[in-house]
Structure 1
């Protein structure tokens, strides 16, 4: 990505990632469709309620994944073979250790967390069974994401896409088989996820072992050296902390959502699944920008980074606008895939319309923060995310629902949850532009 037209290189690299995000979102969406159609709206709500807790307990892997991607892309761009080899080995070992930690801790805290979050009694057992099954196979899920990130850091987004497609298709087949045929219920959906992601992780590892053209896979490199552990923590810890704070904030917001009951929880699940598709350009361009910036910073091409940031963000905004319109036009048909309840479809569509105005702003946020991360400045995105989620998102959600309380609706209006999210996106984009234009990210390269 250090040669040729920057925008063309970004788009070329982004397209497989966008397709990958389609399959990633399809992966999550099929889980919801299967439980909603075959089990019911309460099961759909259960899977949604478990999501924030799952993300909160996976922050270790999120930090490792971000740090690994940046290290790999910069060492790859600088053509430093031994450093690249040792950094990959360090990341693999740290992922294994983190898996053991999460497997030991997670089963002990899931039920207390669910009760703390006011999870309705109708769905709490389903939530607990779903989470316990996922945590039993957490190593496969962790390596699935981190090894895929390494492949993308090496510029091989096609292989990462292929393995994601394999995992998605396998997950769909297993979801239907475990739930519809074997009657395993919500835990069956989690089991399908574990098996599918483990298969993809094995394929990704085998692909990495064959990349002898740019690095070596030796047992000696699996020992996490101090230099690479420090770099991994330096680059990954801010993102991990960001994700932890974000996840904790979402847990708090989920607690508020739970107070509205199973139907509103199910509404939130449906909207967030559709929202995931609309947000795909933002996350895909953001990830492509990170790799683009990392490789060009490593090659000493700061001019290309700035050009790519400006033009790439404009292309991303246009792409998001088109997809947003399509989703708003045909959203009801998509929402009907999740449930047979007309009132649930109608409420979900209204919430989706509220969010529509904010998606272009999210393109700006993800693209510019992606550039900053790729350049090695992971602290700025961390602080921006902290402010957006902790200082703005959570207080706004509680304040706006509190302001609309009435005897008929003692918890306030549910739609205010989504109005507060829209305002958070708009404010976050404004702050990101200001920080990016200050230019401190230009002095943060690790090499």
Structure 2
């Protein structure tokens, strides 16, 4: 019944029907909940993974923590490519043009496949050198290389999972991607336990477990998208009766589709590239502080993600609603969805920040039995808790801007804040205050970024973006 009501409310957007304030809020919440649950389960997966590795020792924890920021960089490039196409699908669905939505989907499969292979070759190629580039020592370089190389092999599966998930979410189907992501988390924990402890593979086992979980989930996500999803399935008996050569010709990338995907995705990709590079620089700033600081930094980031994952779930709902609203030409309704989504995100993440502040020692104790790591991580988390309300504003506003196809200016704003505020302060504060200085710089950056994103949101310029 709830799913039917959610579908009906989404149809209101495409049909131009009036929605009450209560209906808008209900739609935001119902689209957000599956994504929030998936995001939290994903975080718990990383939480358990990190805890498993953490109990192997500080050296193994530092090996994964060293390359973690580079993993985010590659993940961001994958996500940007997916969103370049899925935002177009959201706009076409909002305009009730499902034929063109499916055409964009077909073309995205080819483009994303080629892109993911290039990323895979790059990741595997740099894996032997990466730990030393990041300032790691010989004692952790071997494990770090193995972990990153296995991740590189999994990039094509990660790309397929990302593309299929974002397509389904932009069509309004949050349930299936969320259920499959939760399943992936369970599989990852099971495989990691088996490879790390039963087979005794340590860090390599953690990477292999994640790879297999990604592979299974990607296959199921793509199968549902292409064969079973309402409106987007391209392999089923009821599809338009094109001749075989005409149908397969639709997979050939078209200039307009690729240009629009590049227009949306390139600023996001460039942002992820420089933001990821900034995270790598941040890791290099932390690395000289020693293996304890590297491990504490990595674990604290994992714990903090429990706090901000609800924000990403709400942001995904906002991307869908804004994308379909703009496609339907409903500007006032779109703005209302945007403002309500930001308010909800700030409220939820403020509450999560309070919990993180209070229970920081207990959460860090789950990650590692090493007292020095717990102490450093607790201090970092309590500094970061103060920035969570504005971090929420940044996350949800970014989801809104993506749904509108407004990615260039927000990317510039994020990069300016990251490089001009966080890294500048961190480089100055780390030698003086250690890990505490790095996380203080992070909190200042997130607060500043949230403020400037809110200014852009209320200016309304994002809503006038034309693709």
What is the CA–CA distance in structure 2 between the aligned matches of 1:179 and 1:379, rounded to whole Å?
42
Does the CA contact (< 8 Å) of 2:314 and 2:396 recur in 1?
yes
- Residue 348 of structure 1 aligns with which residue? 377
SS of match in other structure, 1:209: helix
Does the CA contact (< 8 Å) of 1:62 and 1:243 recur in 2?
no
Does the CA contact (< 8 Å) of 2:130 and 2:145 recur in 1?
no
Q: State the shift of 1:201 in Å.
A: 0.8
What is the CA–CA distance in structure 1 between the aligned matches of 2:136 and 2:227, rounded to whole Å?
47
SS of match in other structure, 2:367: coil
Alignment of 1:441 with 2:462, yes or no, is: yes
Q: Which consecutive segments of 4 or more residues in structure 1 shift more than 6 A?
A: none
- Residue 54 of structure 1 aligns with which residue? 71
Residue from 322, 337, 345 that aligns with 1:293: 322
Q: Which segment is superposed worse, 423-432 or 114-123?
A: 114-123
Does the CA contact (< 8 Å) of 1:63 and 1:236 recur in 2?
yes
What is the CA–CA distance in structure 1 between the aligned matches of 2:140 and 2:229, rounded to whole Å?
49
Does the CA contact (< 8 Å) of 1:361 and 1:425 recur in 2?
yes
Q: Which runs of 5+ in 1 are unaligned?
A: 405-411
- Residue 246 of structure 1 aligns with which residue? 275
SS of match in other structure, 1:415: helix
When the two chains are superposed, the root-mean-square deviation of aligned CA atoms in Å is 1.6
Residue from 95, 104, 121 that aligns with 2:138: 121
Residue from 10, 33, 42 that aligns with 2:51: 33
Residue from 404, 410, 418 that aligns with 1:381: 410
Alignment of 1:233 with 2:251, yes or no, is: no
- Residue 63 of structure 1 aligns with which residue? 80
CA distances 1:151-180 after superposition (whole Å, capped 9, x unpaired): 111111100011111111111100000010
Does the CA contact (< 8 Å) of 1:59 and 1:241 recur in 2?
no
Q: State the shift of 1:213 in Å.
A: 4.0
CA distances 1:312-351 after superposition (whole Å, capped 9, x unpaired): 2222222112222222222222211111112221221111
Q: TM-score, normalised by structure 1?
A: 0.94
Q: State the shift of 1:212 in Å.
A: 6.2
Residue from 393, 412, 420 that aligns with 2:441: 420
CA distances 1:386-443 after superposition (whole Å, capped 9, x unpaired): 11112221111102224x2xxxxxxx52210000001001111121122223222122
- Residue 10 of structure 1 aligns with which residue? 28
Q: Residues 312-351 of structure 1: matches in 2 within 5 Å?
A: 312-351=341-380
- Residue 111 of structure 2 aligns with which residue? 94
Q: TM-score, normalised by structure 2?
A: 0.90
Alignment of 1:269 with 2:260, yes or no, is: no
- Residue 396 of structure 1 aligns with which residue? 425
Does the CA contact (< 8 Å) of 2:360 and 2:382 recur in 1?
no
Alignment of 1:210 with 2:231, yes or no, is: no
